[in-house]
Structure 1
C-alpha cells in the first residue's frame, strides 16, 4: 500500500530542508558574503603606484573599481605566459604591479589528496571591497571581479594558503 503525504506535511518537510539547501547553494556560489553594516577596518591595499609588467600605471585613486583593469591585466599576462595554476605566480606578479602582499589571499595549489587544483582564487583587499581572480582548467578563462569584502576583513571564504614568501 502506498502512503500519500498531506500537502501540509510536504510544506513542513520543505521548510525543514530549506536551510540545508540554502547552505549548500551558498557554499557552491561564486559570490562573496553580503556587506556588513559595520565598516570594515581599512587595510593598506596598494603600495606606491608603479608600472605593471606591461607598463600600465596603477590608478592614483586606488579604488577597487579603478584597479580592476590592472589586476585583470596582470592575471591575464601570467595565464597567457604559462597557464599557471600556482598561486605564487599571481601573487608575485601582483606585488610587482604595486599591490600590497599583506592585503592578499590565495587558495591552495593542490587538493587535500595532493592532486593539482582544478582552479585557484586569489584576492587583494581594497578598503571594503576585494579584487578576486580565478584561473584554472576547470573555468572557461581567467576571471576577475570586484566583490564586497567579508566582515572579518578577508576576501575569500574558507581556508587559504599562507603567503609566507
Structure 2
C-alpha cells in the first residue's frame, strides 16, 4: 500500500488535462458550426445578427384622451359615457339617478335625450339597481348601477319602437 501513496499525482492531472483539449475542440467546433446558422457570412467570416426593439423615447405620446363627440354615434361615445359614470361612482359610491344625470349633463350630453328609472321601490326602499340612458340618433347609451347589476354596466342598444331607450316606468327629469 505504501507504494500507492507515493504514486505521483501528475498521472491524474495528465488524464484530466488531456481530456480538456478534446472537449474544448468539440465545443469550439460546435460553436463555429452553429454560428453559421445565426448570421450571414461576409468573406468567410461570420457576422452575428441581432434584432433591436426600440424602447420608449422622449417623443412617445400618451394615448388620446377620451372625449365627447356630440355628432358621433352612441358607440363612438360609449367610452366617454363610461368614464363620466365611473367618475361619478368614484366621487360618490352610493350615487343615485340624479347624480348620474347631473354628471352626464355637465359632461355635454343633452338632458332632453335622457331617461332614468326610479331610485326607490313602490314601498320606499332603495332600488336594487337603477338605469339611465341617453338617446343618440337611432341608438341609446344605457347605464345600469346597483347590487342586482353587479355594479356599473353599460351598453349600446337600438332605440325601441316607442322611441325610448328604457322599458318600464321612468321618472321625469324635471330639475
Which structure has more RCO (C-alpha within 8 Å, separation ≥ 6)? Answer: 1
User: Displacement, 1:84?
Assistant: 2.6
Larger Cα Rg: Structure 1 or Structure 2?
2
Number of corresponding residues: 111
User: Displacement, 1:140?
Assistant: 1.8
Paired with 1:84 and 1:149, the residues of 2 have a C-alpha distance of 28
Partner of 2:129: 119
Paired with 1:103 and 1:61, the residues of 2 have a C-alpha distance of 14
RMSD of aligned alpha carbons: 1.4
CA deviations 1:47-86 (Å, max 9, x no partner) are: xxxxxxxx84312542111000010111111112212341
Partner of 1:130: 140
Q: What TM-score results when the alignment is normalised by the length of structure 2?
A: 0.60
Partner of 2:155: 145
SS of the residue aligned with 2:148? coil
Moved >2 Å (runs of 4+): none
Paired with 2:134 and 2:87, the residues of 1 have a C-alpha distance of 17
Q: Which stretches in structure 2 are left out of the alignment for 5+ residues?
A: 1-64
- Taking the TM superposition and a 5 Å limit, the aligned residue runs for 1:41-120 are 56-59=66-69, 61-120=71-130
* 2:66 and 2:79 in contact (8 A); partners too: no
User: Displacement, 1:136?
Assistant: 1.1
Larger helix percent:
2
* 1:106 and 1:120 in contact (8 A); partners too: yes
Q: Which stretches in structure 1 are left out of the alignment for 5+ residues?
A: 1-54
SS of the residue aligned with 1:147? strand
Q: What TM-score results when the alignment is normalised by the length of structure 1?
A: 0.64
